[in-house]
Amino acid sequence: MSGNATSMTVLGLGAMGSALAGALLEAGRPVTVWNRSADKTKPLVERGAVAAGSAAEAVAASELVIVCLLDDASVREVLKTASLAGRTVVNLTNGTPRQARELAEWVEEQGGAFLDGGIMAVPPMIGRPGAFVFYSGPQDVFDTHRAAFDAFGGSNYVGEDPGLAALHDLALLSGMYGQFTGVLQAYALIRSEGLSAVEFAPLLSGWLAAMGSFVQHAAVEVDSGDYTQNVVSNLGMQAAAFENLPIAAADQGVSSELLAPLHQLLLRRAADGHGAENLTSVIELLKK
């Protein structure tokens, strides 16, 4: 096999790709880098990386190839220029489970091995406490390279199915954006009266922390499919009370469109005869 088996290649040097390459250099790994705009390689070359003149050259330099590009289409566009035989491609580009499965099949057809990944960090966090990455694909491939992956943060292997890393990634992001939605709606209401969001923030942080137990309680109900146990504030009552949120928002000159989808789901679920259940049962309306 050509190239140094202990070296690593990073394709794509945006903010995240540069952070990944930098973390590998900090860990003492030999790193080859490539980017469509060659000027982005300079800071990493100054730190010890080797810049390749093409993606094909970069892939040839190392057995392990980390890909962090814009999207699935750009990943395929770049990889198709190189020989993947004998290479392990680790795709850390944000994507979907379907895209990961299809890319895994294509890479394997080219004679390479494939792992997909989901990065749960922003670039400044890479290699620092709190950062972690999901990986999915062949267990033996993950185990072989885990020591290298640990340079990025915690390495969480989630299964042989290549699509599972993206699934975990997007599920966590769904929860995050749902929380962000509520926070922004809360601040919009507070600011509608000229009050300080900064002064309100400790109240909101404390309230959300107190509501954190919902995550575990809901998980038990969702897995069991039973939403009738320990009902304290039933769905029907919450559907009725929820009506005050859009009414108050309108009175305050604030849009309630961030909350509207949940309101409609609550009303539908109650109308279907599930008003006595826990709010968690609204998940049944999300199943296709």
Which conformational region is residue 231 in: left (phi greater than 0), alpha (psi within -120 to 50 degrees), or beta? beta
Those residues with Cβ within 8 angstroms of residue 76's Cβ, 6 or more apart along the chain or in another chain: 103, 106
Helices vs strands, H then E, count in the chain = 12, 8
Q: Any long-range contacts for 74-77 (C-beta under 8 Å, 24+ apart)? A: 75/103, 76/103, 76/106
Give the pLDDT of the chain (288 residues) as one tens digit per residue.
333 346 899 999 999 999 999 999 999 999 999 999 999 999 999 999 999 999 999 999 999 999 999 999 999 999 999 999 999 999 999 999 999 999 999 999 999 999 999 999 999 999 999 999 999 999 999 999 999 999 999 999 999 999 999 999 999 999 999 999 999 999 999 999 999 999 999 999 999 999 999 999 999 999 999 999 999 999 999 999 999 999 999 999 999 999 999 999 999 999 999 999 999 999 999 998
- Same domain, residue pair 70 and 12: yes
List alpha helices for 14-163, DSSP H.
15-26, 42-46, 55-61, 72-79, 97-109, 139-149
Domain match, 38 and 88 both: yes
- Which CATH number is 63's domain given? 3.40.50.720
- Which DSSP string corresponds to 81-124? TS--TT-EEEE-S---HHHHHHHHHHHHHTT-EEEEEEEES-GG
**Any idea which residue has 């919009």 for tokens?**
188
Question: What pLDDT does 5 receive?
Answer: 40
* Domain termination site, one of 108, 141, 160: 160
Cβ atoms within 10 Å, residue 273:
9
Mark whether 49 and 136 lie in a shared domain: yes
Both tokens of residue 251? 């009175």
Its domain, for residue 61, covers: 4-160
**136 in the same domain as 8:** yes
Answer with the one of 109, 144, 160 that is the final residue of a domain.
160
173 within 8 A of 41, measured Cβ to Cβ? no
- Is 231 in the same domain as 101? no
**29 and 146: one domain?**
yes
Provide the domain count of the chain: 2
pTM to 2 decimals? 0.92
Query: Which residue is associated with the tokens 């859009």?
Result: 246
Last residue of a domain, one of 128, 160, 192: 160
> In this structure, what are the phi and psi dihedrals at residue 153, rounded to the nearest 5 degrees?
150, -165
- The enclosing domain of 260 has a CATH number of 1.10.1040.10
| Residues 247 and 117 placed together within one structural domain of the fold | no
